[in-house]
Structure 1
């Protein structure tokens, strides 16, 4: 019998382990003092949303996205994330940074401003892409926020791992194959993350005004799922019918990029009927199933840092997978920065185990079962009678979760022995506590906190957001960090101005070239 990957890994020495490289992209809405989505422009003190390396916007002008650099420890990541939060909070005036994934009070699509990035061709392309999302899916879905967790392992580890496995590929191809190995197991187990970290069981009534849904009434302005873990990742959140036909394959890089590329070049009749222009205004990049790769919604993505004007597919094909992006994480409304230390450490443990465990390719029938497990936990994960399909049989969700967490114990012990301390065992225990005390899962904590306060989603999240803002504004800010953020803001504005001055190609021609590339 071939030696297991876990056994091979456990034979490594502490000096062979280069540690995790990690980063977070954290979204959140700017809202006014009454808890309504902000209609003000992106604050100039925060620099250019187009070119700032740490502070940008996602779909909406009101939807901030804060980005950490690549960090080599959980402590440095959280410190970096807190620094950028402090800087943002100090420049929001009387606005508030919304602490939850499901949005504040809205008044239909028209109340959600689409992000602006200036007059450069790249800036206009980003805006037109978002216009395309609006005409395809509406703006409401795009007001939802989340945290994306990025993880990679250093090349030193990959070289030793390749040698230990006796693999003869190029390092680029080996790493890509190994990251897809990890992704396949992530897809098998991602339901567990929704159980442990789903934190959006309720939403403001304005989000579903005029929409049919199966939620229960919490109070006059709040609906909720009594057993839901994450409405954000359910049918009311990120989804669309056109993408359900894509069958994006996560088995290997070549099939992944090929199926994505096909979607970008496959016309969709409903989008063709809309067209790409409304008068002189561009309202879509194209009329295909996807305008660009980023339009594809998935819980995980293989990623490669792109050069300016380079497409993600081109970067992946040219240089291989660089890191993986976990996209299914709700914001933790109890945390001032949306994520926690034990969560980050557990994700490291969870993702490494996905790499080390057996990971056969996923066929169509397994793909359907995995999707069903994920959807069931999202909608009904706190129901103790829920059963998931695992290993060809139905298993109670609690039993399935306990089994997966038990399998992580030896790995947690090994990592702790290498780096010293007990961070990974503590992170694992924090998740096990959620199974023995179901009231500790974030989704249950949210509904309990709202009930205890006698507040609906809108009022409770606004109160939590104000508390986080006060905490961060009162914390001391290192003068060097403040100066660094002020420098980045000023330089980003200068860079945007240079880009706009340098563009001479009409946007229509630029877009044609972009689509042909």
Structure 2
């Protein structure tokens, strides 16, 4: 299997010749979530700070599910260093405008006594704002608020049109450029489906969680870690395990074999009622409880570790954009927040993810059937929950193989691409190789070992880290005066933009919803 993978990457790189350098022409972005908490680690009940702008219209600082769940969104950058700096600056500006509040530094939430501490995000009175809040209301009824309090990092990735033109010419492909790009991104997605378990193994950082998160579910798998916290000894990422994000209500399939099939499958899920959520009224006492009773309310509800994306025009849905302009970039969603780093992700991790995604795109990936896709999902969940188990094996492409051998082969597969990207990329390989032979070197094990060897409880550990990062941003002058003023102006303009939207005539909300789905 890996000989075939290596040969396909080698073949495409050799066909590119001198143009292989074009794999360096990358565009990347990050989306990092983080809960606002007080000095004791309790979820903030204050509204989204006005100094950060409008959560509806600020492109860099918004909210995710909850009013207290911040989301930092970078612009597009072309190097890991610039991307890291951009995220660092967004978080610095946020820290300066949170008063006494902190940003929780972990993917799993703090101790939550009552789900009412997780208020659904509010975006204003415009129809677009109401739609965002309603979608989240539906999620709360379908999956519960506790699951929605989990935070993570999404890594957005694309290569330049110049690269795709060169690869298309080198491989004598006669498709349109739009179709060729979409097909290569689908090759990437199929490879991530098969081999994406390496992300939680190498970068998983959520091996424990507050016991309040369980709410009586799957208790027998968890052991007590401290008075407030439970864990699974060999876990790497509880966020990615079956306790975390998943479409676990209505069964449906999504193809990664063609863009036409992918769009058709998502459309089917959006337009097809599901008896598992039909008990939730669409309206109750005149108030919407969910957008609809379908498998998915909208495209965003499809929780996959990798998704195709396209830059949207005003008022455009993702499916319409994919149909019109193909896949513009892909979003990797399986990255945990690293609690030992102020930004939640390191430059080295960004470099490795870039090399991994590039390798996946250059690999000619066989079609992926539903049975194999489901096995790949089981592999991801197994690594998330039990990834550091000794002598663990996975079934990959219908072959049972030892995890250590799989991971070592995957690093060998990525090495040629890392070498072209530069020595800083090649340097990311050796530390990961060491984690294969000694799982105690993985981030998840390090966190557990650090806590076990100290007297501090996990909740206090996270508060200590959050306070440390807050002080860092307030004292280290991460922001230049010019950049600070730019963020202030962006926040101000976003508030004005929200006001302008709300001043526009608004159609009846029922009509607005109906028109939204006409484009599907």
What TM-score, normalized to structure 1?
0.96
Indicate conservation of the 8 Å contact 2:184/2:362, yes or no: no
Structure 1 residues not aligned, in runs of 5+:
417-421
State the partner residue of 2:11: 7
State the partner residue of 1:419: none
Q: Tell me whether 15-24 or 246-255 shows the greater mean CA deviation.
A: 15-24
State the partner residue of 1:216: 223
Indicate conservation of the 8 Å contact 1:196/1:434, yes or no: yes
Using the alignment, how far apart are the partners of 1:206 and 1:5 within structure 2?
Answer: 46
Name the count of aligned residue pairs. 511
Q: What's the CA shift string for 1:415-434, capped at 9, x where partnerless?
A: 22xxxxx1111111221122
State the partner residue of 2:236: 229
Q: What's the CA shift string for 1:7-50, capped at 9, x where partnerless?
A: 33142346644521111000000011110111100000000000
Instruction: Please say if 1:462 is aligned against 2:466.
Output: no
Using the alignment, how far apart are the partners of 1:360 and 1:160 within structure 2?
Answer: 22
Q: What's the CA shift string for 1:173-219, capped at 9, x where partnerless?
A: 11001100111011110111110011100001121233332111111
Task: Sort the Cα spacing of 1:169 and 1:394 in 2 relative to 1 into closer, same or farther, 3 A.
Answer: same
State the partner residue of 1:85: 91
Task: Sort the Cα spacing of 1:491 and 1:388 in 2 relative to 1 into closer, same or farther, 3 A.
Answer: same
State the partner residue of 1:25: 31
Q: What's the CA shift string for 1:330-363, capped at 9, x where partnerless?
A: 1011110011111111011111111222311012
Instruction: Please say if 1:160 is aligned against 2:166.
Output: yes
Q: How does 1:249-260 map to 2 (within 5 A)?
A: 249-260=255-266
Task: Give the match's secondary structure for 1:461.
Answer: helix
State the partner residue of 1:191: 197
Q: Tell me whether 337-346 or 271-280 shows the greater mean CA deviation.
A: 271-280
Q: What's the CA shift string for 1:269-301, capped at 9, x where partnerless?
A: 243222211212112111101100100111000
State the partner residue of 2:442: 441
Q: How does 1:346-385 map to 2 (within 5 A)?
A: 346-385=352-391
Return the match for 1:114 from 109, 115, 120.
Answer: 120
Task: Give the match's secondary structure for 1:61.
Answer: coil
Task: Give the match's secondary structure for 1:250.
Answer: coil
Q: How does 1:339-488 map to 2 (within 5 A)?
A: 339-390=345-396, 392-416=398-422, 422-476=423-477, 477-488=479-490
Using the alignment, how far apart are the partners of 1:163 and 1:139 within structure 2?
Answer: 50
State the partner residue of 1:64: 70
Task: Give the match's secondary structure for 1:40.
Answer: coil
Using the alignment, how far apart are the partners of 1:391 and 1:126 within structure 2?
Answer: 39
Return the match for 1:242 from 239, 246, 249.
Answer: 249
The Cα shift of 1:107 comes to: 2.0
Task: Sort the Cα spacing of 1:454 and 1:379 in 2 relative to 1 into closer, same or farther, 3 A.
Answer: same
Using the alignment, how far apart are the partners of 1:208 and 1:5 within structure 2?
Answer: 43
Indicate conservation of the 8 Å contact 1:18/1:154, yes or no: no
State the partner residue of 2:299: 293
State the partner residue of 2:510: 508
Using the alignment, how far apart are the partners of 1:367 and 1:4 within structure 2?
Answer: 21
What TM-score, normalized to structure 2?
0.95
**Runs of 4+ displaced beyond 6 Å:** none
Indicate conservation of the 8 Å contact 1:384/1:398, yes or no: no
Task: Sort the Cα spacing of 1:358 and 1:502 in 2 relative to 1 into closer, same or farther, 3 A.
Answer: same
Task: Sort the Cα spacing of 1:16 and 1:203 in 2 relative to 1 into closer, same or farther, 3 A.
Answer: closer
Task: Give the match's secondary structure for 1:301.
Answer: strand
Q: What's the CA shift string for 1:130-169, capped at 9, x where partnerless?
A: 0000111110000000000000001111111111110111
Task: Give the match's secondary structure for 1:103.
Answer: coil
Structure 2 residues not aligned, in runs of 5+:
none
The Cα shift of 1:307 comes to: 2.0
Indicate conservation of the 8 Å contact 2:340/2:465, yes or no: yes
Q: What's the CA shift string for 1:92-135, capped at 9, x where partnerless?
A: 11111000000012123222100000000000000000000011
Indicate conservation of the 8 Å contact 1:216/1:224, yes or no: yes
Task: Give the match's secondary structure for 1:272.
Answer: coil
Task: Sort the Cα spacing of 1:222 and 1:257 in 2 relative to 1 into closer, same or farther, 3 A.
Answer: same
Q: What's the CA shift string for 1:453-485, capped at 9, x where partnerless?
A: 323321211111111111121121201100000
Indicate conservation of the 8 Å contact 2:25/2:159, yes or no: yes
Using the alignment, how far apart are the partners of 1:325 and 1:430 within structure 2?
Answer: 25
The Cα shift of 1:4 comes to: 3.9
Using the alignment, how far apart are the partners of 1:98 and 1:383 within structure 2?
Answer: 29
Indicate conservation of the 8 Å contact 1:140/1:207, yes or no: yes
The Cα shift of 1:392 comes to: 4.0
State the partner residue of 2:177: 171
Q: What's the CA shift string for 1:220-244, capped at 9, x where partnerless?
A: 111001000110011211124324x
Task: Give the match's secondary structure for 1:59.
Answer: coil
State the partner residue of 1:39: 45
Q: What's the CA shift string for 1:377-424, capped at 9, x where partnerless?
A: 1111001221112354322211211111122222222222xxxxx111
Using the alignment, how far apart are the partners of 2:143 and 2:374 within structure 1?
Answer: 24
Task: Sort the Cα spacing of 1:124 and 1:140 in 2 relative to 1 into closer, same or farther, 3 A.
Answer: same
The Cα shift of 1:501 comes to: 0.3
Task: Sort the Cα spacing of 1:291 and 1:67 in 2 relative to 1 into closer, same or farther, 3 A.
Answer: same
